[in-house]
Structure 1
Amino acid sequence: MKVDIQSLGTFNQLAHEGAQQATASMAQMTGIDAAVDVTKITLVDRDDIGEHLDDRNFVGVQFDFEGELSGQTALVMDQSCSETLTDALLPGDSAADMAESGVKEIGNIMMSGFIDGWADYLETTIDHSPPTYIEGIGRDVIPDSKTVEGDDDSADQLFVFKSQIEWLEESVDFYIYMLPDYDSLTDLMMTHADTAGDAIPIDKLQVFNRMTERGTEKAADNVSMMTGIETEAEVSQISFARIEDVPKQIGNAQYVGTVVEFTGLPSGFLLVLFDEQSAKNVAEALMPTDVDSDELTDQHTAAIEELGNIMTSGFVDGWANVLETSVDHTPPRLVHDMGQAILDPLAAQVGQHQEHAFIIDSRMQTDDIEFEAEIHALPNEQELREALDELMVERAEETEADPDELFQ
């Protein structure tokens, strides 16, 4: 089964426009201006959905929908955001008592518009259930996406549409998650695919996602070996977004790390980024003596460059092994800036040749010290497609292989 870039772009645009319509409905109801910050399609393990949500209390609404496209969708916001929204909708002392009904009313208007936009485009009917109020801590608020009858039981990776909406005058945001049933979405994607053109085999995209996981695990092993700090790989996923949305994949906190350009099949850029405290902690684990400074010194940055090089090599070598190709990379270039400022010029360079981009994201962390690292890869989309085609033709017998076996 294949899906082409055009259909991915079309579906991503549909989700973006649906989120815009939902946001406009919310603004009309409450008088609060908001904007869609980013929309993306992510291929992610079922267990990793909502991984970016922290340990705050979240509330929202959930719908089931069915028709030519079936699945679940949810509108999620943190508790303080919901209180502000419901107070705007139901001003006065009664707002606290009406919080749940207010969230359901806002969610019903927003999500109905979101789903109706898909139905209009597909020229079909998509029915949805009444809104169900949901609450939970962090990712637990996201509805479980279980394998349904008729779904491929092996589909442990799902395509998830996620839109992030931010208020223009407030430092809060909320999220729309659309979790289509795997079979219904891929069937629709296949009807839009041009198999003679820029189609990507979905099963190989899943294998590539597994490659990313193994590359992250290898990078984490390298960190453990160099520092003595037991480090674990966490989330790994592939996202598809408009070029202008790519820099928004990274927060605007200050990061320290390395950037390399890799060449071969595919080519692109790879970033290894640490928050400032993590960079300081992991760098000092590499140093033979303690550094008496609260700031990042030349010794710290030299250690980060060395660590970034080792992590990059382990990550990229995993790709080369599976693709049976040569993937080289430049020496690491140290970066120390806000996340979007780091990624923006790289996205602009890639965007000279493509309107959308695949973004490969991984994370690792340890409980031993305050430490978290992110790996972001931005490959050339056409070359990634060519690499996956080569994997399908030359190693077709491994199409259904356990990705663990590919890394022996």
Structure 2
Amino acid sequence: MYVDIQSLGEFSDLASQGADRAADALGQLADANVYVDVTDVTLMAAGDLRESFAGREFVGVEIGLQGGITGQTVMAFELDAAESLVDRLMPGGGDGEFVRSGVTEAGNIMTSGFIDGWADHLGVAIDMTPPAYVRATGTDILPDGAFDDDRQGVFMFESQVSSMDEELEFAIYMLPEYAGLTDMLGHEGPVGEAGDAVPVNKLPTFNRMTEQGAASAADNITMMTGTETDVDVSRLRFVPVQDVPAELGNETVAGTVFELHGDPSGYLAILFDEDSAEEVAGGMIPTETEPGIGDMEKGALRELGNIMTSGFIDGWANVLGTSIEHTPPQFVHDMGSAVMSPLVSRLGQTQDHAFIIDSTVRTPDGNVRCDIYALPDQRELAAALDRIEPAATDGGLPR
């Protein structure tokens, strides 16, 4: 099954528009300045999604869809955010039934705005069941059947919504049935020229391949610094190019960026928060240095980034059967959004949307965090995935 990149891009745009309408509806309901930070399309392996949601307590609404889109939509709030929202809607309302009714009302209004845009674009009717209030921990908040096929992964439309004048942050998660989504967007064979459509049955393979690259990068950090690390989460997302910088936000980061040449070409960024960068670099420098990120720390981070990148992309090249090379490391020390802006500016000259492959490497105590962002050329990635032999998608990669 193939999904047309243009159709996937249109749905990504529609998800953004729907999330904007949902945020506007909430803003009017709560008399707050609410906005959408970013909306993306994510394909996550089931295990990664479980790990990402582990220990997080959610409340929200679950609504069933029939017609143009079939499946379930869950609009989930972090519990603390929901309590802030309900307090805004019903000052002094307290817990219990007030939280249930406030979340159900807000969730129903927001989800309706979200889905209406999809129905208008498709020119079909989408029927919604009445909202059912849900409260759960971790992936129990997701609809039944979200993990029916762990090998396929889970398609998830995710919007991060926040308010400028309230401590209000939450996510809208839309999870259409995997088969329903691919039936609606998909084709049995390639469409147009090579790279015009994505072979969705091979995306989880690429996801697992990326996990292996991230695991290799984590091993390199441990080998060079003596600091034990592990891969926290790895996922593949599809977002409008102009939204990529917002994915990183305004936190100051330090690390290295690389341009990739080969099949696929693109960019790779290995970024640490400032404290993590100092700690990791300090583990590579045999002598004590002044606090901060000086010349010796920059050199250490360049060396580490170079080794991590080689291991990361070698896994891609081996599975894709291609050759990928990278430029020498360019050191960066700036806000995350500022680091990404020039990369997406170049990528945006040839495409409107981007696949973001991001992995997070952490120490067990959480004191060191490294984020790895890969931005491959979307058509070259799709064409390379199409060439993967069937054996590579039938369990050839460890889970």
TM-score by structure 1 length? 0.88
Matched-pair contact (CA < 8 Å) for 1:236–1:361: yes
Secondary structure of 1:404's aligned partner = coil
Matched-pair contact (CA < 8 Å) for 1:134–1:141: no
Matched-pair contact (CA < 8 Å) for 2:104–2:131: yes
Aligned CA distance change for structure 1 residues 80 and 200 (closer, same or farther; 3 Å): closer
C-alpha separation between the residues in 2 aligned to 1:399 and 1:372?
A: 31
Question: How far off its partner does 1:102 sit?
Answer: 1.0
C-alpha separation between the residues in 1 aligned to 2:166 and 2:205?
A: 40
Question: How far off its partner does 1:51 sit?
Answer: 6.1
Question: How far off its partner does 1:56 sit?
Answer: 6.6
Secondary structure of 1:352's aligned partner = coil
Question: How far off its partner does 1:156 sit?
Answer: 4.0
Question: How far off its partner does 1:47 sit?
Answer: 2.9
- Match of 2:155? 159
Answer yes or no: is 1:404 the counterpart of 2:398.
Answer: yes
Matched-pair contact (CA < 8 Å) for 2:58–2:141: no
Q: 2:210 aligns with which of 204, 209, 212?
A: 212
Answer yes or no: is 1:375 the counterpart of 2:369.
Answer: no
Q: 2:264 aligns with which of 260, 263, 266?
A: 266
Aligned CA distance change for structure 1 residues 51 and 11 (closer, same or farther; 3 Å): farther
C-alpha separation between the residues in 2 aligned to 1:180 and 1:127?
A: 13
Higher alpha-carbon deviation: 81-90 or 160-169: 81-90
Secondary structure of 2:227's aligned partner = coil
Answer yes or no: is 1:305 the counterpart of 2:302.
Answer: yes
Question: How far off its partner does 1:49 sit?
Answer: 2.9
C-alpha separation between the residues in 2 aligned to 1:80 and 1:64?
A: 25
Question: How far off its partner does 1:32 sit?
Answer: 1.4
Matches within 5 A, 1:4-403: 4-49=4-49, 58-91=58-91, 93-94=92-93, 98-136=98-136, 139-140=138-139, 142-143=141-142, 146=145, 153=149, 155-170=151-166, 172-190=168-186, 195-197=191-193, 198-289=196-287, 291=288, 293-367=290-364, 370-391=367-388, 395-403=389-397
Secondary structure of 1:295's aligned partner = coil
Higher alpha-carbon deviation: 309-318 or 24-33: 24-33
Secondary structure of 1:224's aligned partner = helix
C-alpha separation between the residues in 2 aligned to 1:327 and 1:73?
A: 39
C-alpha separation between the residues in 2 aligned to 1:390 and 1:94?
A: 58
Identity of aligned residues (%): 46
Question: How far off its partner does 1:144 sit?
Answer: 5.1
Letter of the structure 1 residue corresponding to residue 228 of structure 2: E
Matched-pair contact (CA < 8 Å) for 2:2–2:188: no
Question: How far off its partner does 1:80 sit?
Answer: 4.5
C-alpha separation between the residues in 1 aligned to 2:212 and 2:84?
A: 43
Matched-pair contact (CA < 8 Å) for 2:218–2:231: yes
* Structure 1 residue runs without a partner (length 5+): none
Question: How far off its partner does 1:364 sit?
Answer: 1.1
C-alpha separation between the residues in 2 aligned to 1:52 and 1:147?
A: 15
Q: How many residues align?
A: 396
Residues 222-262 of structure 1: per-residue CA shift (max 9 Å, x gap): 22222232221221111111111111121321111100111
Aligned CA distance change for structure 1 residues 23 and 10 (closer, same or farther; 3 Å): same
Letter of the structure 2 residue corresponding to residue 160 of structure 1: M
Aligned CA distance change for structure 1 residues 369 and 175 (closer, same or farther; 3 Å): closer
Matched-pair contact (CA < 8 Å) for 1:145–1:179: no
Higher alpha-carbon deviation: 119-128 or 324-333: 119-128
TM-score by structure 2 length? 0.90
Residues 9-55 of structure 1: per-residue CA shift (max 9 Å, x gap): 11112211221221222122222122222111011112333866796
Matched-pair contact (CA < 8 Å) for 1:157–1:206: yes
Matched-pair contact (CA < 8 Å) for 1:161–1:179: yes
Question: How far off its partner does 1:389 sit?
Answer: 2.9
C-alpha separation between the residues in 1 aligned to 2:36 and 2:146?
A: 30
Higher alpha-carbon deviation: 248-257 or 187-196: 187-196
Letter of the structure 1 residue corresponding to residue 69 of structure 2: L
Residues 136-194 of structure 1: per-residue CA shift (max 9 Å, x gap): 56x4574255358xx6x354411110011222334532211011111111111115987
Question: How far off its partner does 1:287 sit?
Answer: 2.3
C-alpha separation between the residues in 2 aligned to 1:273 and 1:18?
A: 32
Higher alpha-carbon deviation: 58-67 or 26-35: 58-67
Matched-pair contact (CA < 8 Å) for 2:2–2:187: no
Secondary structure of 1:301's aligned partner = helix
| RMSD value, Cα | 2.6
Aligned CA distance change for structure 1 residues 136 and 288 (closer, same or farther; 3 Å): farther
Aligned CA distance change for structure 1 residues 353 and 338 (closer, same or farther; 3 Å): same
C-alpha separation between the residues in 2 aligned to 1:300 and 1:243?
A: 32
Aligned CA distance change for structure 1 residues 43 and 67 (closer, same or farther; 3 Å): same
* Structure 2 residue runs without a partner (length 5+): none
Secondary structure of 2:398's aligned partner = helix
Residues 63-121 of structure 1: per-residue CA shift (max 9 Å, x gap): 23334423332223344533443233334x34556232111111111112222332333
